[in-house]
A and B are shown apart, each in its own frame.
Chain A
């Protein structure tokens, strides 16, 4: 399985993401935001967390219009897999690959701690390693993670079983307690919590491992 991790100026979880993917068995390349194309044969693009372009204008807005993101959009539209974590989720909503937007946390504070997540669907390459309804702990670290979409979009996401994760105790005001959502073809996942930070024993929690393991299993023959 070939994966590409995108680096923007201000990305800071790119290495953690690459390590999690490598340790799960992926062949990982990092790509720079100015690159106009992804390496040939890439199955998964991972957009890591951080503060791309200093969060100027809006979180993810400038990254979403960078050359590499045009290639990422093409990759997704051609049926490729894309995982966006934290700032990566913000970037995916800004590109329009995922609906909605991430607003400032309702409590206005930057929040950095492990939160409880409920796996809302095991029907995706990312979540098939978990049981439906399983509760896991995954760290969040964000100031703008308050998921917003209009009523019709929220209903559609729920109706189409595209809510991947919800918070068990909503930390940031997200509508419907939403922590992560899937694209219509279920191959693009955006989530605010960091599964790559709950990966190794040294992290104190390995609940994120199964996300990567499930992805590998699904894409092993791709």
Chain B
């Protein structure tokens, strides 16, 4: 089983990197970008029998810091 975990800063948490990317896009002439949020994608290659619930535990314990980040699990 493969799983992909998407980790994003929660709404309301300032994302200075996203803001810098937005600024850079504007400088390149790309108009109409109202906002940029930057996150990360973590791909997991899991042994047979692994469950989505286990991936959820991994997210809660290590992959995301739920004080500031939300996560979404995609089973591939």
Contacts and interface: CB of A to CB of B under 8 A. Distances in A.
Contacts of B17: 104, 108
Interface string A84-116: 000000000110000111011111100000000
Contacts of A149: 67
Interface residues of B, number: 12
A32 interface: no
A103 B68 contact: yes
B62 A106 contact: no
Contacts, number: 38
A100 B68 CA distance: 8
Contacts of A25: none
B26 interface: no
B67 A173 contact: no
Interface of B: 9, 13-14, 16-17, 20, 61-63, 65, 67-68
Given A57-B62, A108-B17, 17 more contacts: A57-B63, A61-B65, A65-B62, A94-B65, A99-B67, A101-B67, A101-B68, A103-B14, A103-B68, A105-B16, A106-B16, A107-B16, A108-B16, A146-B14, A146-B16, A149-B67, A173-B14
A58 B16 contact: no
Interface in A19-72: 57-58, 61-62, 65
